[in-house]
Chain A
Amino acid sequence: MQALLEVSLAIERNEFVSIVGPSGCGKSTLLRLIAGLIGPSSGKVTIDGSAIDGPRRDVGVVFQAPTLLPWANVLDNVLFPLKILHRLAPDSPAKGRELLRLVGLSDFERKMPSELSGGMQQRTSICRALITDPDILLMDEPFGALDALTREEMSLELLRIWQEQPKTIFFVTHSVPEAVLLADRVCVMTARPGRIIEIIDVPLPRPRSYEQESLQEFQNCAKRIRQHIFGDAAASARTGAA
């Protein structure tokens, strides 16, 4: 079965791109293509002009579930990619601790994953993705399993990290406000077969905050996305309700 049809998307260095779309639109497939976890049946994905033929060192992935190793503590989980890549250096633990400090987990490096809340687990997994200093960060609905409050908190935290360590972020979500708030551009997809309907520029100034949700620019972007996904009438009803 064909999951994706004629998808064409160019992403700039250090750009933040969100992908929104209904379930089954192939946004996760697109992410896995870029991650090199699967190969395209036709066409190609390139990074800096070279085709992706497998997982790359300059790409980090954050999955929807934190997927932490239950037998390793927080710091060891963060250092896990370096171990696999044989890049564990004497200063690696310090670097891991610095990342944990960045996400507010300084006091938790010796804790086991089962002792952490869902949000803390996902923070750990973000640190793990960042430990290799990737140029590109692929995030597959990373906050999808978190409660609404934690979710807002985490997205702002992600923006702060992105500010401190600029990199290209490819952010898959099914939350429209989240997509708009975070991204420079929002890529809207529809289902069966999956394709990109429109790429919307978000003209909001940075730094962003959830207060910007009330701005007209924000509303316009959100409405346009919803129109693509749900159709015109449904979109205005939803906007009205919000």
Chain B
Amino acid sequence: MLPLLAVLILGVAWEGAVLVFEIPVYMFPALSVIWSEFLTNVGLVAGHTVATLGTVMGGFALSIAISVPLAVLIASSPLMANAIYPLLVLTQSVPKVALAPILVVVLGAGEVPRLVVTFLVAFFPLVTSLATGLLTTPADLIELGRSYKATWWQELVRIRFPSSVPFMFNGLKLAITFAVVGATVGEFVAADKGLGYQIMAATAFFNTPAAFGALVILSLLGIVLFQAVVIIEKVFFSWSTPMEADLQ
């Protein structure tokens, strides 16, 4: 109830500020203006949203597919960790906006460069938290497995992975949020559809309300996807969420 109230207050303050201070529409359009612009172009916005959602989910899936073996590799030995971590940090310090045009040249103008940008923005927290989870598996659980001669693979699949689930979900929550950012960055740089493209095009077309509308949808998309991950964790991995969370 409280979050809803907060959003409501924010909305009223927004609308009021625009009216009182007579902020021109091309600077900061009122919510009502954004809303009516949105209503006239619902179909268009829906198309852009679907395109962005596709890139987000694709990039998110790619992040998971690459982060899991990478985290296993990092957790396998300190030597591996020392070899891989600097490279990972490097991928994070390179500005994606600068990297994206190069990716387009190398990978072509299709969906692939956007997926790669999304992956590059999203995968890092997933790798680090999953690796941390694998490495901080309680020693007594490991010893339990060893007392039954668990193989490396059994230890990984039956003990280390399940034990890392809370860490993994922390990483997934960050990754899905970053994936939205990454997809948008990719669309800023090379796309003919998607909310990122819409923001860019609407700004250039001097259609500020449409740009803000896309911005709002993008924020909502981020919130909804984040909550989806939270719900998946609660429903399928309830043991990993602390009891206090249920009491709230």
Contacts and interface: CB of A to CB of B under 8 A. Distances in A.
B145 interface: yes
Interface residues of A, number: 23
A71 B165 contact: yes
B143 interface: yes
Contacts of A55: 146-149
A24 interface: no
- Grouping DSSP codes into helix (H, G, I), strand (E, B) and loop, the B interface class, with mixed when no group exceeds half, is helix
Contacts of A163: none
A35 interface: yes
Contacts of B141: 67, 69
A52 to B, nearest CB: 12
Nearest to B141: A67
Given A63-B144, A69-B141, A84 B150 contact: yes
A84 B145 contact: yes
- Grouping DSSP codes into helix (H, G, I), strand (E, B) and loop, the A interface class, with mixed when no group exceeds half, is loop
Contacts of B227: none
A65 interface: yes
Interface in B123-149: 138, 140-141, 143-149
A37 B143 contact: yes
Contacts of A37: 143, 146-147
Interface string A38-65: 0000000000000000110101010101
A238 interface: no
B240 interface: yes
A85 interface: yes
Contacts of A132: 148
A80 B147 CA distance: 12
B239 interface: yes
A70 interface: yes
Interface of B: 138, 140-141, 143-150, 154, 158-159, 162-163, 165, 237, 239-240, 243
19 contacts: A35-B147, A37-B146, A55-B147, A55-B149, A57-B149, A63-B144, A67-B138, A67-B140, A67-B141, A67-B144, A69-B159, A69-B163, A70-B240, A71-B165, A71-B239, A80-B144, A83-B158, A84-B145, A132-B148
Nearest to A66: B140
A59 B149 CA distance: 11
Contacts of B140: 63, 65, 67
A167 B144 CA distance: 20
Nearest to A113: B239
Interface in A75-104: 80-81, 83-85
B142 to A, nearest CB: 10
Nearest to A72: B162
Given A55-B147, A57-B149, A85-B148, 15 more contacts: A37-B147, A55-B146, A61-B144, A65-B140, A67-B138, A67-B141, A67-B143, A67-B144, A70-B239, A71-B165, A71-B240, A72-B162, A84-B158, A85-B149, A114-B243
